[in-house]
Structure 1
């Protein structure tokens, strides 16, 4: 069955082809009637052919580029973040997935060559949070006979984002009245989503989320960035990566919740804080997203619209936006961050 895009594309090709052949035959017949088979006459036919062929080719290129997704491929950093464990009893085989990372994984388990067990075939996908989780149990049909199976599994980091709030306001990662720069001493503009700070400057969480990786944590869990990064998983499944943080000074541990305006670390020797926001596409793919920086209670701007040395703003309604009632009460009493 043809998709709508394929149907339109083929229709355009058919129209161009029809115009080409009609025009070509008209010129050829005209030349034959005049008995003019000179070099210039043939050249006119050739030019017509090349022009229409080029138009057809252009239509092909335009459709082949449509729908392209800008994404990066993520390769896991941790050795075997997911392990499958099988517990055997006299009447069953229970399968468990152990997630050694702080990220959530999508795990696909396939069990075949099953005999004297029920169910007779398994091919299921599971969302596996950190820790050990039960997947499925195979029960023995008849204890008088032997039983067996063969299994394989695959996994990918993160749950694909299906409901991203692309207009969400993100606080700047430093507290007012702190000012920041986009241009270094040589007058060179630094990269997008990068801020020129000083070694030891405090970095603050931009949105509420669960900590999934911290600087210096390489073997204890998985991570997206190769650099000294602090990574936070948000409610809508997006991931915010804070890069170039000092691994010796970390204010929040993995699995803990951080809140907007909460200190999470300090800038390392580079003096440059870089941040990236990603959406999980599945199968090891991440899509970079634009960040809406909050400059006041009612306005957000992209990175290119931020002014040099702008003073950061932390509107109360933005800070409390994703907090529960109990969290807001703790915040008002000054106890929200102290509990972490």
Structure 2
């Protein structure tokens, strides 16, 4: 049988950048204080995660900035102030020209501290895990650095669970099941979750119409996200998972600005976390100590009360 090759987003190190399309881009504006002759720059972030902005002035005369230029910082969801341009002398006019760029994510100087994740599948049975290979490597045979992704063998109808708490930053829930002739496809439904430490967790391959969460929704570790897609890749039903962050060393200078993490997962035999071994089978568990590890005392009390 002839099989069709379409590039699957999850496997492509460069293609994660494509998923960060700014359908709701950051807006940067300024207001003028007529008394002080100052200009205050503000941002509007209508998204559900941090974005990073770079503001550059091609011309600035008669004034100085309250910050180091070019301005480079992360902004949270919502509205806020960035910096102020003040006149160099009292009552002096200011003239300027500027431009800005934005990237999805919080600028991180280095990888976050290690974290123990839950497996994104149920406790019913053991699941086989594999490290996914970058599609560029598969086609060219050349090693691609800075990529790490995982796949978990599932059964049709299985639920995919959140491996960590966070806020749903983006979903795709519009692609139907592929035919058996399709090997890889860019048309994959996914859930992306923004974590407290600035990383993203991305879960690929949901069945259309089964995603149980919405953008902006807070989710807890172990919470159901949706049902795995029915279609198979090379005879297997798979759920896929990556963890990545916006790397400050690459941001605004390289085409692909994100770095990937190698997560550790909780198991009953390795409560301190284990890195997946290729082809090994793992059994999931959702212990309270891991589910609640990022909760405040107040959140923990509320969570326990809701369970009673």
Q: Structure 1-normalised TM-score?
A: 0.62
Unpaired runs of 5+ residues, structure 1, are 1-70, 184-190, 218-224
1:256 aligns with 2:217: yes
Per the alignment, residue 300 of structure 2 pairs with 328
State which of 31, 43, 48 in structure 2 corresponds to 1:97.
Answer: 43
Per the alignment, residue 243 of structure 2 pairs with 277
Q: Say which SS state the counterpart of residue 250 (structure 1) adopts.
A: coil
The answer on whether the counterparts of 1:201 and 1:266 sit within 8 Å (CA) in structure 2 is yes
1:304 aligns with 2:277: yes
- State the Cα distance separating 1:335 from its structure 2 match: 5.3
Output one character per residue of 1:177-201: Cα deviation in whole Å (capped at 9) or x when no partner: 2443569xxxxxxx96212223432
Q: Say which SS state the counterpart of residue 304 (structure 1) adopts.
A: coil
- Paired with 2:200 and 2:26, the residues of 1 have a C-alpha distance of 20
Q: Say which SS state the counterpart of residue 303 (structure 1) adopts.
A: coil
- State the Cα distance separating 1:323 from its structure 2 match: 1.7
More helix by share: 1
- State the Cα distance separating 1:157 from its structure 2 match: 2.9
Per the alignment, residue 86 of structure 1 pairs with 30
Q: Say which SS state the counterpart of residue 326 (structure 1) adopts.
A: helix
Q: Structure 2-normalised TM-score?
A: 0.67
Per the alignment, residue 229 of structure 1 pairs with 190
State which of 88, 110, 119 in structure 2 corresponds to 1:162.
Answer: 110
- Paired with 1:211 and 1:79, the residues of 2 have a C-alpha distance of 16
1:1-340 aligned within 5 A: 72-73=13-14, 74-75=17-18, 76-79=20-23, 81-88=25-32, 90=34, 91-119=37-65, 122-139=69-86, 147-158=94-105, 159-160=107-108, 162=110, 164-166=112-114, 168-181=115-128, 193-216=150-173, 227-270=188-231, 271-282=237-248, 283=251, 284-296=256-268, 298=271, 300-304=273-277, 307-308=280-281, 310-334=282-306
- Paired with 1:324 and 1:229, the residues of 2 have a C-alpha distance of 29
The answer on whether the counterparts of 2:60 and 2:97 sit within 8 Å (CA) in structure 1 is yes
Q: Say which SS state the counterpart of residue 287 (structure 1) adopts.
A: strand
The answer on whether the counterparts of 2:48 and 2:167 sit within 8 Å (CA) in structure 1 is no
Aligned residue-pair number: 250
Q: Say which SS state the counterpart of residue 295 (structure 2) adopts.
A: coil
- Paired with 1:111 and 1:232, the residues of 2 have a C-alpha distance of 34
